[in-house]
């Protein structure tokens, strides 16, 4: 998970793109994970539990859950991972460039 996300962030550092996390760990564990895995992107902290307010509002039942949202704020992909995640993001970037 982390190495792939790191490489995606690195590759698209000059593009209108971000990973935005919603983290369900305890604050201690979350801070440790950020340090150990060199996580450079921002995350909401959801209160230290899987039943936190954001995960509940988004009806998240399994972790990780991924939503890809375009520049206009529209949900475009769900649970797209690995290579498919890269392709989805590239598709949305191309859309933006074409407009």
Per-position x/- string for 7-46, each x denoting binding to another protein as judged by CB under 8 A, each - no binding: -x------xxxxxxxxxxx-x-xxxxx---x----xxxxx
Q: Confirm or reject binding of residue 84 to another protein (CB under 8 A).
A: no
The backbone region for 67, taken as left when phi is positive above 0, alpha when psi lies in -120 to 50, beta otherwise, is beta
Q: Check whether the bond before 90 is cis (ω within 30° of 0).
A: no
Q: Which of 11, 40, 63, 84 binds another protein (CB under 8 A)?
A: 63
Contact present, 49 and 73 (Cβ < 8 Å): no
Q: Confirm or reject binding of residue 75 to another protein (CB under 8 A).
A: yes
- Integer Cα distance of 97 and 90 in angstroms: 10
- Integer Cα distance of 16 and 28 in angstroms: 31
Q: Confirm or reject binding of residue 3 to another protein (CB under 8 A).
A: no
Residues that bind another protein (CB under 8 A): 1, 5, 8, 15-25, 27, 29-33, 37, 42-46, 50, 53-55, 57-60, 63-78, 85, 89, 92-93, 96
């Amino acid at each position: 998970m982390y190495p792939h996300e790191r490489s995606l962030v690195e590759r698209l550092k000059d593009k209108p793109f971000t990973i935005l996390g919603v983290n369900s760990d305890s604050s201690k564990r979350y801070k440790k994970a950020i340090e150990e895995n060199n996580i450079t992107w921002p995350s909401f902290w959801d209160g230290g539990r899987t039943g936190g307010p954001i995960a509940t509002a988004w009806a998240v039942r399994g972790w990780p859950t991924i939503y890809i949202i375009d520049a206009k704020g529209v949900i475009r992909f769900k649970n797209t991972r690995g290579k498919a995640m890269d392709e989805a993001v590239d598709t949305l970037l191309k859309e933006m460039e074409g407009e």
